[in-house]
Amino acid sequence: MPHLEGAVDAGTYLCGPPELIVEQIKSLEVEYPGLERVVVSQPVGVPESVIVDQLAWFVRDVMPEFTRSRQTALSAD
């Protein structure tokens, strides 16, 4: 039976603190240069309060790293 740890090791799931998530997504950008969207989801059964907290830190600590990158790229054109 597959385990979450195996999926994380394989890169199927991104887990960890914001700095690690940023690093993992940036490595995906290098591997897939046309990447424009990332799906953020939660496993079934996660309490709503946990989902809201995790989405809040994703918005606060992860997304700005990519908004700045995109704005810089657009202003260079």
Burial 12-45 (b: 16+ CB within 10 A, else e): eebeeeeeebbebbeeeeeeeeeeeeeeeeeeee
Return the SS3 of 75: helix
Output the pLDDT for position 64: 93
Q: What is the pTM (predicted TM-score) of this model?
A: 0.73
Segment 42-71 shows an average pLDDT of 87
Percent of the chain at pLDDT exceeding 90: 42
Indicate the number of domains in the chain. 1
Output the pLDDT for position 44: 87
Domain that holds residue 51: 4-76
